[in-house]
Structure 1
Amino acid sequence: MKVQWRKSSHSGGVNDSTCVEVAGLAGAVGIRDSKDPDGGRLAVSGAAFGLLVEKIKTGSLDQP
């Protein structure tokens, strides 16, 4: 089965260089750099991905 990668609808579009892409995997969520789709990838649990999204939305990971 081919993995379907997607960008957020909140990204800057096709040419935005600051995006990550995500994909639903069997029992996990895949994450990769949209600028380097053949490079390294992460696979995290759905719970871990949800926590990451929550932290991003609340700004708790923002640097000063």
Structure 2
Amino acid sequence: MLSLKCSDAGFDCDYIIQDEKEESIMRQVMDHASKDHGLKQEDFTTELLEKIKNLIVNDQIS
């Protein structure tokens, strides 16, 4: 299971997104950031999206 904590992206927010696929997490991140943090489509630059992708962690225990 992959996950991303909104707080890891610098927001004072307890929201956690979990999913099996990175693409799904990224869609959920953009939706959450737009609805709850007021980000607009143009705020999601290539640089920001790469930063967010790098914050996704794999929670699987080996």
In terms of fraction of residues, the more helix-rich structure is 2
**Which of the five TM-score ranges fits, normalised by the shorter chain?**
0.3 to 0.5
When normalised by structure 2's length, the TM-score is: 0.32
When normalised by structure 1's length, the TM-score is: 0.31
Higher RCO, 1 vs 2 (CA within 8 Å, ≥6 residues apart)? 2
Find the structure with the greater CA-based Rg. Answer: 1
